[in-house]
Amino acid sequence: TDAVQLESLCGIGGGLTIGTGTSSWNYPMDTYWHDARTQVIYLQSEIGAASRLDGLALDVTTLPGQPLGNWTIRMKHTPLSVYTAASWDDTDWTVVYQNDETVSATGWVTFDFATPFEYDGVDNLMIDFSYNNNSWTSDGQCRYSTPGGVRSLFFHADSTYGDPLTWAGTYPGPSISTNVPNIKLFGGSPVSMTPNASGAFTSGT
């Protein structure tokens, strides 16, 4: 019998695809090594307007040979459109997804965020992928594109440098790449509602 406040709705679509390349790269699922981290810049021109991002998918072509321990996806806004130095960004990240992940199927593999990311529609978006294992098997691979410019940092190790989430600056020194993993972003923009409050419900209606 109580009135219910409706502040906004969020339109959810089938996912915004960024990247059309068909070649495969072993990042961000480089499980031939114990640990790996991949940090990527996606441009505002590729993403569009402000939106609440609540999921991401990677186009997996080869399954990782083992689970991804503490598989973590982080996001942040950035003024960078390319990397001008090979240096990890280590501040102001939002952890949107974290799980001991077993990738069991190829194709688009979706990671539903535990914490949505409020993208501002103005800045570019930096996405950081990492996992932390204590053994190695064989690489997973994902499709990527080369849209131009140095847009990725990556590094792998066999437990030599500790947790990849703590890598900062030039320790350990990442490599640079023009490869950009293809992704789908899921979410939508808030939609204004009129009126912004319902009437009273009667028997649930």
Residue 194's pLDDT is what? 62
The pair of three-digit structure tokens given for residue 79, joined into one six-digit string: 């003024």
**44-72: pLDDT as tens digits:** 999 999 999 999 999 999 999 999 999 99
Determine the Cα–Cα distance for residues 74 and 10; give it in Å rounded to an integer: 22
pLDDT band at 11 (very low <50, low <70, confident <90, very high): very low
pLDDT of res. 169: 98
Helix (H, G, I), strand (E, B) or coil at 107: strand
Residue 144 to residue 30: CA distance in whole angstroms: 14
pLDDT confidence of 195, banded at 50, 70, 90? low
Greatest extent of the chain over all pairs of C-alpha atoms, in Å = 63
d(CA 194, CA 13): 22
Question: For residue 205, is pLDDT > 70?
Answer: no
- Helix or strand (DSSP H, E) at 47: helix 44-47
Confidence of residue 8 (pLDDT cuts 50, 70, 90): very low
What is the rounded average pLDDT of the residues 74-96? Answer: 97
